[in-house]
Chain A
Amino acid sequence: MLVYALVAGLLFGLYFSLVGIGLNLVFGVMRIVNLAHGDFLMLGAFIAVGVSALAGFDPLFAVPLAFVVFVLVGLVLYYLLVPRLQGSVDPEMLSIILFFGLSQVIEALTTIAFGTSERSIDSGELGKILAGLRVHVFGGDADGPVELLGQSFPTSWVISAAVSVVAILLVYVYLYRTRLGTLTRAVMSRREEAFATGINVDRVSAVAFGIGLGLAAIAGVFAPFMFGSVTPAFGEDATVTSFAIVVLGSLGNPLGTALGGVVYGISYMVVQTYLSSWADLLPYVLLILILLLRPSGLLGRRVRVA
């Protein structure tokens, strides 16, 4: 029971890291609270549903598609919204309200286009092109669950966790091994000084925003498998969960979010196993506790002066 909870928690946690990492990137670089983050997850999930149900492909093909589409969407949205927002008196606060408005627009448009019914994908669909490889590595038959430490887990969980690890590693490479990443980290730490040294802050931020949305959409591709189904209203819950994960980890460091996600995933699974009726409370209580106890260390800037 405990082993199952721990391993399932780890698998979910790796996936949760991917859920939060785009939000982390956007907040770190732009000091913008993307309250529409969960809605981009939801849109990614709808892309997966489209690829799987309409075209009949493996939903894994939705990963590159969702990423490219939402990087482009992010670039457009950035130039439409953010420069104007940054010019206002209190961009951080107003961003909350602005992106809340955006999330309403996305939810409404999706509802108008697809209705409010729940969408799901048969979990056997995910990774069917890899089935041969899987049988080779883990043994068992192509449709059955994956055996890990003597417990069996749905194949879709393992694939989601694996893709999440790859995505997080790529984010690490982007931030720490490329020139653009160095510029991005410069903007993260001191926006004004980065601007003064001649960095094209707008371009760097726009790319980071696009990548942030792209990562959210990738996470969304796996949402139908990890959460069972998605509706256009799924975004709101996803946003709050993402905040809990990002706050748990540390800001601006993808490895921090990975840690936050894993801690979150494991504690969620353990609470769900032993105290299931209180599991819903966990993200919120965790979020408040972390914010109160370690606001400066983990995420916050303590600004109260007196």
Chain B
Amino acid sequence: MPSALRHLLFIVAPLLAVFAILPSVYENHLMLFNFVVFLILAQGVNVIYGFTGYLPFGYVGFFGGGAYGFAVMVMHLHASAPVAVVVAGLAGVALGLLLSPLLRLSGAYFAIANLAAALAVLHFVANPALETITRGPYGVSLTATFNPNAAYAAALVVLALTMGAVVFLKNSRFGLALQSVREDPVSAAMAGVSVVRMRVIAWLASALIAGLAGGVYAWYVSVFFPDNVFSGTFSIFAIVFALFGGVATIVGPIVGVLLLYGVYNLIGFTTPQYFQLIYGLLIMGLVLFLPAGLVSLATRRGWHVP
């Protein structure tokens, strides 16, 4: 059995099945939905950071852009929700294309520029001068498409697509080429890898994922403000979840989301500042003692982690 099929059968399918069944046995649907959204976002970060080494510190820009793409389609063009979700994904891709010159920057410069870009998109969308289009800072209300169950199903579809993309990267020449570019662009170029094209494709794929996630999020919550969907928390959580589990693997980000977001839901809501403290310490400990994530505990022992 080829390994791609094995990964799909034994990792992706069970995960999707569990999240498809859970709503019928567990009451808190919003929490389950948030789990799915963070699984999507963490894998989206995995695609760009894990496989190319670019740290998307403003990843939420695509997410918020997608949410507003969805909102504009529904408010002004009265599109049906699935069409609007597709447009949300395209909004993410368009934003990714617009920001693709940022890929010229390296390391920290890219991360800072990406953060600035996300904040610029936020202030653009939330500008009172654009009230007729985006409702500015006053938020949008999309009662016409309100249907949490359908939105949850759509989120599962997006998750399936995202997981499919990661399985592809993990098992294809394309993914291998990307990782070679991350390790050493000069050698990769010498070996015939088209460095720029590879990076741009991974970047746009990652933007598409976040845009789609933003679209289904907007569909699910239906009432939101710019500060909600552009909250830096989305970027940070997605990055930390992915890193905590271990990037450039299929299971790493999944483990990260399930463990950390689980902890968050246990203690986070009642005392946010204590949670913030624990979280900050956890992040620092992670970087100092386990920079390659939880999976490195296994890989250090020579075990293979998909």
A219 to B281, CA, bound (A): 26
Which residues of A in the span 1-40 have a Cβ within 8 Å of any Cβ on B?
27, 31, 33
Q: Is the CB of A288 within 8 A of B195?
A: no
Secondary structure at the B interface, as helix, strand, loop or mixed, is helix
What is the CB-to-nearest-CB distance from B1 to chain A, in angstroms, rounded to a whole number? 33
A287 to B108, CA, bound (A): 13
Q: Is the CB of A287 within 8 A of B116?
A: yes
- Closest B-chain residue to A81, C-beta based? B288
Q: Is the CB of A101 within 8 A of B116?
A: no
Number of interface residues of B (CB under 8 A): 51
Number of interface residues of A (CB under 8 A): 53
Q: Within 8 Å of chain A (Cβ to Cβ): is B186?
A: yes
What is the CB-to-nearest-CB distance from B133 to chain A, in angstroms, rounded to a whole number? 14
Given contacts A98-B288, A284-B116, A306-B185, contact A108 B108 (CB under 8 A): no
- Closest A-chain residue to B111, C-beta based? A96
A295 to B112, CA, bound (A): 12
Q: Is the CB of B273 within 8 A of A85?
A: no
Chain A positions 65 through 101: 1 when the CB is less than 8 Å from some CB of chain B, otherwise 0? 0000000000000000100110011101111111011
Q: Is the CB of A295 within 8 A of B105?
A: yes
With a cutoff of 8 Å between Cβ atoms, the chain B residues found around residue A295 in the complex are 104-105, 109
Given contacts A281-B127, A291-B112, A291-B113, contact A302 B104 (CB under 8 A): yes
With a cutoff of 8 Å between Cβ atoms, the chain A residues found around residue B264 in the complex are none
Most buried by B among A107, A244, A295, A306: A306
Q: Within 8 Å of chain A (Cβ to Cβ): is B55?
A: yes
Q: Is the CB of A112 within 8 A of B119?
A: no
What is the CB-to-nearest-CB distance from B299 to chain A, in angstroms, rounded to a whole number? 13
Given contacts A85-B287, A299-B109, contact A292 B102 (CB under 8 A): yes
Q: Within 8 Å of chain A (Cβ to Cβ): is B124?
A: yes
- Closest B-chain residue to A93, C-beta based? B55
Given contacts A93-B55, A243-B116, A292-B101, contact A100 B106 (CB under 8 A): no
Given contacts A97-B287, A104-B283, contact A291 B105 (CB under 8 A): yes
Question: Could you tell me which A residues sit within 8 Å of B by CB distance?
Answer: 27, 31, 33, 81, 84-85, 88-90, 92-98, 100-109, 111-112, 236, 240, 243-244, 247, 277-278, 280-281, 283-285, 287-288, 291-292, 295, 299-306
